[in-house]
Amino acid sequence: MEPGIWEANTVVSLTLVVPVLNEEILLPEFLEKTVQDLETGGLDWELFMVDDGSTDSSYEIMANFAQRDPRVQVLKLDENCGPGANLHLAYSMASKDVVAYATVDGFYDTALLPSLLHYFQDHDVVSAYRTDLKSHPGFRKLQTLINVHLQRLLFPYEFKAVHTLQIHRRDFLQGADLQSKTPFLCSEMLYKATEAGLKIAEVPIEYLPRKAGKATGGDPWLIVNTMRDIFAGWWRWFVMKKPMLPVGLDLVPGGVKNVESRPLELTKAG
């Protein structure tokens, strides 16, 4: 069945997680637009804004906005954790059927989320990949290509891309023992979803350039730590043959109707 054909009694709820670091310029517009997009889409939603050690007025802007709507929550991390690491707390607190993330710089249009959720009628994961790299500067394009080809060399999975907009079932995210504290988390989620037998929809979307402010993805230390995470995962799972998933994680594939309503009793992976 086409993803646009949605059964009348099928309702999917969404937790949207947004990490924030010094985005006071973009935050007001982002918050207004994102909430409007979620409302216009008719979704049952909650929004976690994660302050990742901001030193500007980002936290105050988010806290003031959250007072207007109880569905918006602001989480303040004790320190700057960086991409990947700044998602774990919100993922653990999510309560809706599926969980997505966004960034304040609007790397994709949040108005797309309602249409992407239609895939959860019979899929368990949405991985929305960029149709081109035009929104990246030259160095970031090279970084992306090296990252993709290195992972294809090391890992036995074939995805069009791994650093993508991903929407996952909450029971998977909270049960898969996610460990990466870098952007390799995107790859870890896709790899573990594959090993769990979940059905993944890869969907092309347009990625948008940053409107203002400074991006952090090209930070040299972040690149080094991501490379370290990539090789650590390869060594742990494919050289040492450690289990990728916790013992007892037994998810039923086939869409949001199979999401577990309560936490599973699991033993962590080795």
- Angle, CA 53 vertex, CA 192 and CA 110 arms, to 5°: 55
Specify the pTM: 0.88
Domain that holds residue 123: 13-242
H-helix or E-strand containing 100? strand 98-101
* Average pLDDT over the chain, rounded to an integer: 87
The first and second tokens of residue 75, run together, are 């989480």
Which whole-number Å values give the CA distances from 157 to 97, 182, 191, 194, 225, in the listed order? 26, 20, 7, 8, 22
The domain that contains 141 carries what CATH number? 3.90.550.10
Q: Does residue 57 fall inside a structural domain?
A: yes
Highest mean pLDDT among 209-218, 235-244, 246-255: 235-244
- Position 7 confidence tier, pLDDT thresholds 50, 70, 90: very low
Q: Does residue 44 fall inside a structural domain?
A: yes
Q: Does residue 188 fall inside a structural domain?
A: yes
**Number of folded domains that form the chain:** 1
Q: Does residue 257 fall inside a structural domain?
A: no
- According to the model, what pLDDT value does residue 241 have? 96
Q: Does residue 260 fall inside a structural domain?
A: no
Q: Does residue 72 fall inside a structural domain?
A: yes
Owner of token pair 């769990």:
196
- Position 262 confidence tier, pLDDT thresholds 50, 70, 90: low
User: Average pLDDT, stretch 178-204?
Assistant: 96
Q: Does residue 256 fall inside a structural domain?
A: no
CA–CA distance, 254 with 40 (Å, rounded to integer): 27
CA–CA distance, 264 with 215 (Å, rounded to integer): 37
H-helix or E-strand containing 48? strand 44-51
Q: Does residue 153 fall inside a structural domain?
A: yes
Radius of gyration of the chain from Cα atoms? 18
H-helix or E-strand containing 63? helix 58-66
- According to the model, what pLDDT value does residue 8 have? 41
CA–CA distance, 11 with 9 (Å, rounded to integer): 6
